[in-house]
Amino acid sequence: MTKPIEKVAIIMAMKQEAKPLIEEYNFYKLPKIFDEELPMEAYHIDKEGIDITIILNGTDRDFQLDCVATQPATLSAFLAVQHFRPDLIINAGTAGGFAQRGSEIGDVYVSHKYIRYHDRRIPLPGFDKYGMGNYPCLNASRLAQKLGMKLANVSTGNSLDITPTDLAIINVETPVVKEMEAAAIAWVAHLYRIPFIAVKSITDLIDNEQAVEQEFIKNLAIASNNLKKKMMGVIDYLVGKSIEEL
């Protein structure tokens, strides 16, 4: 008999991405959970016996903006493990997709096979592969099918824009979505041998004419709302299931 999932940590970068889900499922803020120097915040619910905590990267003290990208994501993942010891880590957020590979604004993807970096280029023996990471993620194809989500390789980098070199590396994978946190979290999950998936809602299409930052701002609300709907489905789907059943 396999063990049902008891604790889940959902790591999210931006408040606007998390707000719809926090409100819909009445997550409540856990007071004083992390050191007060840290920007990270934690929100909690008990969903039919599963302990679910959203760890939000929080607001940068100096810039008064959401702490996006890999540096805070690594720290959030470490805090999630230290404080909550989850059976499963989910990184939920937004990403860029490719119209030529079937992505549309608001599509929600589940990570497939592995998460890699497209901007850690270290052309030295062995370090080339190390740089790319290729951290494993859980095979969640049943969950994806059940909830009507597409599967994609997730490619992480620390820039919202894209260089031709990044693009050439990303283009090796198909389908693929591009974002700024998943590989950092997948690395921590891999270190602790905790199963990991990413759920990413498309805010922008990298291969169209529009500037990524304008598209991102324009579509953030719709993408976050779709992310909420799918994440509600994911949370409901997890109830009573073991990791092996996902």
Residues noted as catalytic? 17, 204
Quote the Cα angle for 105-106-110, to 5°. 115
Residue 182, SS3 per DSSP? helix
- If the CB atoms of residues 13 and 227 are measured against ligand SAH, the closer one turns out to be 13
CA 6 distance to own-chain centroid: 20
Residue from 22, 27, 55, 66 binding ligand SAH (CB under 6 A) = 66
Cis omega (within 30 of 0) on the bond before 125?
no
- If the CB atoms of residues 96 and 133 are measured against ligand SAH, the closer one turns out to be 96
Residue from 53, 103, 155, 203 binding ligand SAH (CB under 6 A) = 203
Is position 107 an interface residue for ligand SAH (rule: CB under 6 A)? no
Is position 94 an interface residue for ligand SAH (rule: CB under 6 A)? yes
| Segment near ligand SAH (CB under 6 A); pick from 48-56, 139-147, 174-182, 224-232 | 174-182
| Segment near ligand SAH (CB under 6 A); pick from 78-86, 107-115, 191-199, 204-212 | 204-212
Evaluated on CA atoms 5, 23, 183, 58, the torsion sign reads: negative
- If the CB atoms of residues 41 and 66 are measured against ligand SAH, the closer one turns out to be 66
Task: Using the CB atoms, write b or e for 65-97: b if 16+ within 10 Å.
Answer: ebbbbbebbbbbbbbbbebbebbbbbbbbbbbb
Residue from 30, 33, 160, 167 binding ligand SAH (CB under 6 A) = 160
Pseudo-torsion of CA 29, 32, 33, 39, nearest 10°? 80
End-to-end CA distance of the chain: 15
- Residues forming the site for ligand SAH (CB under 6 A): 13-14, 66, 68, 93-96, 160, 178-181, 203-204, 206, 212-213, 216-217
